Amino acid sequence: MSIAQSFLNNDKRDIDGKEAAREIIDVIKSRKQSENVQPGLAVILVGEDPASSVYVRNKSNRAEECGFLSRQYNLHEDTSESEVLELIESLNKDNDIDGILVQLPLPDQIDPHKVIQSIAPEKDVDGFHYLNAGRLMTGDIEDALLPCTPTGSLYLIKKALGENLTGKHAVVIGRSNIVGKPMASLLLKENCTVTIIHSRTERPEELCRQADIVVAAVGIPELVTEEWIKPGAVVIDVGINRITTKDGSSRLVGDVNYAEVYPKAAAISPVPGGVGPMTISMLMQNTLDAAIRKKNHN
Ligand code: GUN
């Protein structure tokens, strides 16, 4: 019996992202001690988008909890592109800082590509720089910093299915540079057969119904309904969408209709409490890895 089937039988289908994220943080704390490094993380927020402010605060707090040096830069909404580039340039040279993260999206006057490419690749803990993206794409992942949400999602998939994903059909919904494309590359590296579904895909539900693994990262509330899912599939929901309900209150939902899909899936990551906490743990892991690599190269 596969691990996925055992999920079906004992009816514990939620993949607990909070617990997995905590597991990773515990390992990070002990590796930090045994490697005797002092990782430093700089997080930059431009503007006051409420959701981004919460994410950034959570990242800084978790860095502190791990015993890292944690610096948060809250820049005004009107900050110019050159001011952001200057700050990054100084952080690139700052020996106390191992990881630099600029929270996206950025205000219109700032070109996100220019900003991301200005981060030194060895400090690019988001894994968005061309060098890190290229390393992932070509399978040279030993030296790469990998994007946090896809690596966290892969960790959860392996929690449900075990380490060996060879031959599984994985369907990734969404083709963003932050999640969809790197997720597809990671799954390919795991010997999955990978299909990417996007806004122009014809009959997406038919393709998705063939999947052993579904990763939904498209930002459309509850797009994936029961008809999209093959019985026994493992479903990872990356979406975090705030919707307003009929009574006027608001709540968070994923890209998957959880209530419909839960009975059909072998395992499903809930929103909240699934992928979200994993993204932050993987960011801490990248920051620690960057600090250890710096120590070993000096
Ligand atoms: N905005 C949404 N997700 C992310 C992420 O993973 N990194 C950054 N920097 N911004 C984001």
pLDDT in tens, 248-265: 999 999 999 999 999 999
pLDDT, residue 298, reads 76
pLDDT for res 205: 98
The whole-number average pLDDT for the span 170-196 is 98
35-121 and 147-276 have identical folds: yes
Ligand 1 atom with the smallest distance to the CA of 149 is: 6
User: Which CATH superfamily hosts domain 35-121?
Assistant: Leucine Dehydrogenase, chain A, domain 1 (3.40.50.10860)
Which ligand 1 atom lies nearest to the CA of residue 178? Answer: 6
The pLDDT score that the predictor gives to residue 12 is 81
Q: Which of 104, 115, 242 to mutate to test the pocket of ligand 1 (most atoms within 8 A of CB)?
A: 104
Atom 3 of ligand 1, residue of closest alpha carbon = 104
Q: What is the mean pLDDT of residues 225-231?
A: 98
User: Can you give the C-alpha Rg of the chain in angstroms?
Assistant: 19
pLDDT, tens digit, for every residue of 103-162?
A: 999 999 999 999 999 999 999 999 999 999 999 999 999 989 999 999 999 999 999 999
What pLDDT score does 10 carry?
Answer: 46
Measured from the Cα of 283, ligand 1's closest atom is: 6
Å from CA of 263 to ligand 1 middle: 31
Mean pLDDT, range 75-86, rounded to an integer:
98
Ligand 1 centre and the CA of 190: distance in Å?
24
2 confidence band (pLDDT: 50, 70, 90):
low
Q: Which of 136, 92, 141 is nearest to 117 (CA)?
A: 92
- Mapped to the 3 state alphabet, what secondary structure does the chain carry? CCHHHHHHHHCCCECCHHHHHHHHHHHHHHHHHHHCCCCEEEEEEECCCHHHHHHHHHHHHHHHHCCCEEEEEEECCCCCHHHHHHHHHHHHHCCCCCEEEECCCCCCCCCHHHHHHHCCHHHCCCCCCHHHHHHHHCCCCCCCCCCHHHHHHHHHHHHHHCCCCCCCEEEEECCCCCCHHHHHHHHHHCCCEEEEECCCCCCHHHHHCCCCEEEECCCCCCCECHHHCCCCCEEEECCCEEEECCCCCEEEECCECHHHHCCCCCEECCCCCCHHHHHHHHHHHHHHHHHHHHHHHC
Residue 42 has pLDDT above 50, yes or no: yes
Cβ of 116 less than 6 Å from ligand 1: no
Q: Which of the residues are catalytic? A: 59, 103, 126
Answer yes or no: is the C-beta of 151 below 6 A from any ligand 1 atom: no
Residue-level pLDDT at 7:
43
For residue 9, pLDDT beyond 70: no
What distance in angstroms lies between residue 24's CA and the mean position of ligand 1's atoms?
19
Predicted confidence (pLDDT) per residue in 215-226, tens digit: 999 999 999 999
Share of the chain above pLDDT 70, in %: 96
pLDDT of residue 68 exceeding 90, the answer is yes
Confidence of residue 287 (pLDDT cuts 50, 70, 90): very high
Q: What is the mean pLDDT of the chain?
A: 95
Domain residue limits, the chain = 35-121, 147-276
The reply to whether CATH 3.40.50.970 applies to domain 147-276 is no
**Closest approach atom of ligand 1 to CA 105:** 1
- Ligand 1 neighbour 283 (Cβ under 6 A): no
Which position has the higher pLDDT, 143 or 74? 74
